[in-house]
Amino acid sequence: MINRLKELYLKYKEIINYLIVGGLTTVVSLVTYYACVLTFLDPNNPLQLQIANVISWIFAVAFAYVTNRKYVFESENRNIFQEAVAFFGARVTTLLMDMGCMALLVSVIHMNDKIAKILVQFLIVVANYVFSKFFVFRKQKN
């Protein structure tokens, strides 16, 4: 049984590690967001809602870059600056997706902001994997 689990892990290592790191990144994002709206920002104010979103994004992206580079995609790219710029650029794209979805769900549809934030995170995790896998950490061909 343990050998079978190990075999499955090795076969799907990148996806499993991405889901773990993505889950942890989501926790960083949610904890930061909730800390903002429960202490000094009002989610009923559209501007403050987006400020909380951006603050949570900054913390999550910093965490995600380091963990994705090392544990998920095991990048050996020596041009870390170029890779980091590509990573942050991809994450800006998903930030805009996040902000648009939050504005629609909370400010237009009037969904509870905390529930909306959790729902939106599922879309963001998938989009971030696609961007990271195919644009940021793609393996160099020899």
DSSP of 102-123: HIIIIIIS---HHHHHHHHHHH
Question: Domain range holding 103?
Answer: 2-136
Note the pLDDT tens digit of each residue in 14-60. Answer: 999 999 998 899 899 999 999 999 999 999 999 999 899 889 989 99
Q: 38: helix, coil or strand?
A: helix
Percent of the residues in the chain that have a pLDDT greater than 70, as a whole number: 98
Whether the per-residue pLDDT at 110 is higher than 80: the answer is yes
In a domain, 78, yes or no: yes
Q: What is d(CA 128, CA 56) in angstroms, rounded to the nearest whole number?
A: 15
- Contact in structure between 11 and 68 (CB atoms under 8 Å): no
Residues 81-99 have a mean pLDDT of 93
In a domain, 47, yes or no: yes
In a domain, 126, yes or no: yes
Whether the per-residue pLDDT at 140 is higher than 80: the answer is no
In a domain, 69, yes or no: yes
Q: What is the mean pLDDT of the chain?
A: 92
In a domain, 141, yes or no: no
pLDDT band at 141 (very low <50, low <70, confident <90, very high): low
Whether the per-residue pLDDT at 72 is higher than 80: the answer is yes
In a domain, 142, yes or no: no
Q: What is d(CA 128, CA 98) in angstroms, rounded to the nearest whole number?
A: 11
Whether the per-residue pLDDT at 81 is higher than 90: the answer is yes
In a domain, 68, yes or no: yes
Whether the per-residue pLDDT at 142 is higher than 60: the answer is no
In a domain, 7, yes or no: yes
Query: How is residue 139 written in tokens?
Result: 């393996």
The pLDDT value given to residue 44: 93
Of 127, 92, 119, which is closest to residue 18 (Cα–Cα)?
127
What is the number of structural domains in the chain? 1
